[in-house]
Amino acid sequence: MAVVTGANRGLGRAVAQQLAKAGLQVVVTARSDEAAERTAAELTGLGLSVSGHQLDITDPASVARAMADVGYQYGRFDVLVNNAAIAIDRGQAASAADTEKVAATLDANLMGTWRCCTAAIPEVKRNGYGRIVNVTSHMGTSAEMGTGSVSYRVSKAGVNALAQILAAELHHNNLLVNAASPGKVGTRLAYGKANHTPDDAAGTFAWLPTLPDDGPTGQLFYNHKPFPWQREAGANRVATMTQPS
């Protein structure tokens, strides 16, 4: 049983479709019941085992309700893919940030992911097995840290830290927690500046939930391969990317 947040379009929808094709029962979530049910119906029409559920990652009650409902309805909860996120401050500098946008971005991207993790983990622990995958960005690593989109960068850096901390806490519970970057994907977040499609990028996010019990945890991946959290020693390059990836 897998839950994918923000799964009514783009990368989230592609991840849900690939997980369902791999044989998992998948719950697609979206901020509205209508969007979640519409996407579930579309994927069910392809012969896949998919259902929909409303989930607003900025609403603690909505998060708690969705995760509890999944555990109760299906009797188990194995996989959480934290995909839902926003990007609303392209080009902004930290020295002149719009703090309202910063607060909104941190609430959605970091706290939203954190809320989903804390609500899902008790459900996952009941069966002694679980996989959590946080969708992050190259822009949230110190290896690619630079100017622009400051709240997005900081939020994804927090998501990266959260994955590492949870992995350290939970590895004795057969619960693997990893982060992965899709790169520049052709979704609304990319504003057209993309180098591959959601279907191309989704492969890594459909693979990580199938890791064996002795698989990696607390790591960052890109295109099925480990990606460095930090810049190599001695590197002085300043990244100037302003588009989420």
Which residues are marked as active site?
Answer: 152
Q: Would you state the structure tokens that stand for residue 106, as one six-digit string?
A: 């941190």
* H helical segments located in 171-236: 198-207
Residue 236 to residue 103: CA distance in whole angstroms: 30
Q: Would you state the structure tokens that stand for residue 122, as one six-digit string?
A: 């008790």
Are 60 and 38 spatial neighbours (Cβ–Cβ below 8 Å)?
no
Q: Comparing C-alpha atoms, which of 241, 80, 89 is closest to residue 155?
A: 89
Are 106 and 40 spatial neighbours (Cβ–Cβ below 8 Å)?
no
- Grouping H, G, I as helix, E, B as strand and the rest as coil, residue 171 is helix
Residue 133 to residue 112: CA distance in whole angstroms: 14
Residue 16 to residue 145: CA distance in whole angstroms: 29
Q: Comparing C-alpha atoms, which of 119, 86, 82, 115 is closest to residue 103?
A: 86
Are 82 and 116 spatial neighbours (Cβ–Cβ below 8 Å)?
yes
Residue 209 to residue 83: CA distance in whole angstroms: 13
Are 139 and 81 spatial neighbours (Cβ–Cβ below 8 Å)?
no
Which residues, other chains included, contact 125 with Cβ-Cβ below 8 Å and sequence gap of 6+?
173, 175
